Chain A
Amino acid sequence: MGKKMNKIIIAVAVVGAFAGGLYFGNNQNSTPVITNSDSGASYGGGFNKNAQVTAPTKKSAVAKRTVAGKTHVVNDGESIMAAVQLATPGDTIQIMPGTYHETVYIDKDDIRIVGVIKEGKYATLDGQRKLNDAILYSGNNIVIENMRITQYKGNGIMGQAGNNFEIRNNIIVDTGVYGIFPQLGQNGIVEYNVISGIEDAAIYVGMSDNIHVAHNDVFDSVAGIEIENSRHAIVENNYVHNNTGGILAFITPGLPIKTTFDVIIRNNFVDNNNHKNFAAPGSTVSGIPAGTGILIMAADEVVVENNIISNNKVTGILITDHENAPNTTIDPESDPAPDKVMILNNIMLNNGYDTIDEAKALMLTEFKQGNPDILRVGVSRDSCIINRHRYVTVGIDNWKECAFTNTDAIDSYILDEPVAPREIDPSERGKVVYMGICAGCHTYTGRMIGPPVQIIQALYMDNPQGIADYIAAPTKKREDYPEMPPQNYLDAETRLAAAKYMLGRKN
């Protein structure tokens, strides 16, 4: 009885806190501002290409090959990894249809993994629920295409600090925590992939820059497409459906890169993202309410344009700061507010029909009725919208009109010339491993996939060797956390360097 009362008191307090953070509308009944987006100014974007590029070329992220390398053909029953070991930069690994039970590590530059699809039969990497990762690459200028990946426990395809990558035409089914996960990469394309059944993010762009995510079919996962602690990203022409949350742009607190900004989410189908949340309880994504079309949390300069956003039961677009998001801690070095959100024209159909109590309470504060298409909680500065009269909105009445109506002037944030390969000074090895690998699952202060770094620091204190040993062959220690994948592809010295760096982190 006492506990029940406490919960009611908390619920009221939470609603009060939300209402306190709102702007109260003053122009609900005034004549709507109708903006024709066929003409008008175009949004300029936040990335100045001219500062880094030379002549425009066909859109490609990897460096052009000037000398034809060797093609290594891998037949069913052979090892892909063995072929990678034989390969030198410039080579192509051609994988014939068949089933391969292995983890492929690519720590060389300019390698192309190309599956051969023959009459619908794929080269399939099958982890059999025993292996953790299908493909891990740390090289630059990597292409991975036409593969089918299934039944891994950790990652389908993970990039670890590799620049200039192209990941396309892959089918990834029921594969662990992340489907396609470029971490700490600049200049990359993720396109034409079909990804489903992922317990965190189907596509997770982490701590990266200049990324293009397009034409993917993403469904039955907790988070569809995540742009996280990343900048200059375009998410367009994707079909994102039946996930818990569809497309997400946000800052995860406690990661070594502290910002997300300049993200364009346009021309996507965002439909029916009402899947029951099956993430590990207490983890960041377990806080996503089932029924969220697009989620913008703490990210700045996010444009949402010309998406068809339909049948998402909580709301079409949810904009929140860290304070109001569940399972999110505060990082003193990250601004928790989503600023300069820009909502241009979108088709909104049948969203918010079974929304959360917090949304209903917020609607009451604005004397609104109906099902919310757009819901904003917490602080958001300098945000804008056009044609707001079309939608049922909460928390955006006082947003200004955008000074532009489209993003037509921005074709892509992919660089015209690939960036230089990341050169790693030996003294920086621990840091790069921490950022490129560890931070994929561990934040400093929060529970992402693995335990927070702060807790690891307390557990291991002055014992970096303990970490280095553990990560080579981890054992399951926490029933409610996914098992850590072994990092034994890193040599002992590298593991120790990463462990020392981890113990020295302050944020």
Chain B
Amino acid sequence: MTLFSLISLPIKVLLRVSLLFFVVLSNLSYANDSGEVLYQQCIACHGAKGEGVDALKAPAIAGQDINYLTRQLEHFKNGTRGKAEQAIPMAAVAKILTKMDIEALATYIQAMAIVENANQSLIEGSLKNGSRYYQAKCGACHGGQAQGNKTFNAPRLSNQSSQYLLQQMQDFVAGKRGYEQNDKLGRQMAMMANTTKGQELIDILFYISQQSIK
């Protein structure tokens, strides 16, 4: 990363990056640590309970599917994901995780209880319209109640931050996620992300936000 490109980043991102480097560097001595210990470095952004922090653009991760978590960490590590500006800190952290770390972390995070994220800023929309377009465009893979579906490697979306989901949809459309040829699942999602926008997307996100957290 050049100095120039660093300067061009917003201050907020820089602060987060430096914060993360601090956390990460202070933990570099870990080797074959348990998921719980490894998770300490995630708390600064994702919260102690894995509930996510909208202000830091960090998604809720507690209770997410282990395969999804593993895949995303690997993608951040190998550059398959991480092009988006807000993903840079995560990519930086993932780079120094070992395969075993990833496995331990994913196992630990999957086992965390799902907690309702009270700090989410809700996106308001039409439940009726959201329901019809969610079912038409999302539910066949992510489940009728946004509960996720392992068969399609589709993560649970319920209880996820609406802001985060909106950002991801924008990233998929902009080619900042699901851009690698070998990331077939990401490309599948990018293809679907291109089928919705505007108010319809807002309504879909609202529908997701109204689903039960289980």
Contacts and interface: CB of A to CB of B under 8 A. Distances in A.
A13 interface: yes
Nearest to B118: A2
Interface string A281-293: 1110000000000
Interface in A5-59: 6-7, 9-10, 13-14
B128 interface: yes
A328 B151 contact: no
B47 interface: no
Q: Chain A at the B interface: mostly helix, strand, loop or mixed?
A: loop
Given A461-B188, A477-B149, A455 B128 contact: no
A461 B191 contact: yes
Contacts of B152: 459, 477
A154 interface: no
B155 interface: no
Nearest to B150: A477
B157 to A, nearest CB: 15
A88 to B, nearest CB: 43
B141 A452 contact: no
Interface in B143-197: 143-144, 149, 151-152, 184, 187-189, 191-192, 195
Interface residues of B, number: 28
Interface in B99-149: 122, 124, 126-128, 131-133, 135-137, 139-141, 143-144, 149
A477 B128 contact: no
Contact of A458 (B132, B151, B191): B191
Contacts of A478: 140, 143, 149, 151
B192 A455 contact: yes
B133 A10 contact: no
B210 interface: yes
B182 to A, nearest CB: 13
Nearest to A477: B151
A105 interface: no
A6 B184 CA distance: 37
B188 A480 contact: no
Contacts of B122: 2, 6
Contacts of A454: 137, 192, 195
B137 A455 contact: yes
Contacts of A458: 188-189, 191-192
A13 B192 contact: no
A282 B139 contact: yes
A93 B192 CA distance: 48
A333 to B, nearest CB: 16
A49 B47 CA distance: 72
Contacts of A14: 126, 128
Given A6-B206, A445-B136, A457-B191, 11 more contacts: A6-B210, A10-B126, A329-B132, A329-B136, A446-B135, A447-B139, A454-B192, A458-B189, A458-B191, A477-B149, A480-B143
Interface of B: 122, 124, 126-128, 131-133, 135-137, 139-141, 143-144, 149, 151-152, 184, 187-189, 191-192, 195, 206, 210
